[in-house]
Amino acid sequence: MKRWFLLALALIVVTASLLMIHARLVVSSPIVHSPVVYAPVVVSHLVRVPNSAYKYHLCAEAYSYAMAMPDNPYKTDDTFLDPFRHVNDTIIPRFLGFNKSGDAVSFSVKMIINHVATFNETISDVRGLDGISVLIPDRQNNLQHSSVPQFIISYLPNANEHGNAAVLDYTCPEQWVWTAFHT
């Protein structure tokens, strides 16, 4: 009789332990069918536009030096009228240098969107003759992109030459037509 009692007690303990383990696994893992997703949303305000050179009217040119200090006399700042708030916004691209593969480069871009925020973002895998579009939030905070990239990478040094400057050509704001950005 004692053996049956111990066997029943052991069976109850094992069953309870398995139920607790199952309950913990269900609570800690995300539910696939749940309409709520808790993944962080990453929003980039920069978009690479491949092969953009020779397609648009250009208004300004700047030299962007690799790892240039903030007091660099060759400023890459470009200020333009914000199409949604009627204030001036500024973009400041900085050439960071070549990626490990040596056939593409990276840029950091500081975007000062007045009355909204300042964004500092990096874009990689940019090649010569590519354009970079800056996404701007409208008054409802929906990202808008222009039909024309804000600047073109018109010249990149050869990675073998250890070049440290890129030439940026800014497009003219009069040709920008803003529409909602869809991923």
Distances (CA, A) of 116 to 122, 137, 140, 153: 19, 8, 11, 27
32 in any annotated domain: no
Total domains present in the chain: 1
CA atoms of 171 and 113, how far apart (whole Å): 18
Kindly tell me if the per-residue pLDDT of 158 is higher than 90.
no
Q: Is residue 129 part of a domain?
A: yes
Residue 102 lies in a domain: yes
Which has more pLDDT, 14 or 143?
Answer: 143
| Residue 52 belongs to a domain | yes
Inter-CA distances, 35 with 30, 31, 32, 174, 180, Å? 11, 9, 8, 43, 25
pLDDT at 33: 47
Residue 139 placed within a domain: yes
Burial readout 47-56 (b: 16 or more C-beta within 10 A, e: otherwise): bbbeebeeeb
What residue type is 98 in one-letter code? F
> Model pTM?
0.71
Q: Is residue 151 part of a domain?
A: yes
Largest Cα–Cα separation, the chain: 96
Domain presence at residue 161 = yes
Instruction: Look at residue 18 and tell me if it is in a domain.
Output: no
Q: Compute the mean pLDDT over every residue in the chain, rounded to the nearest whole number.
A: 80
**Residues of the domain holding 158:** 46-180
pLDDT tens by residue, 56-110: 999 999 988 876 776 776 678 899 999 999 999 999 998 888 887 777 889 999 9
User: Is the pLDDT confidence value at 168 over 70?
Assistant: yes
- Which residue carries 């332990």 as its tokens? 17
Task: Name residues whose C-beta falls within 8 Å of residue 124's C-beta, 6 or more positions apart in sequence.
Answer: 99, 104, 105, 106
Question: What integer pLDDT is reported at residue 97 of this predicted model?
Answer: 83
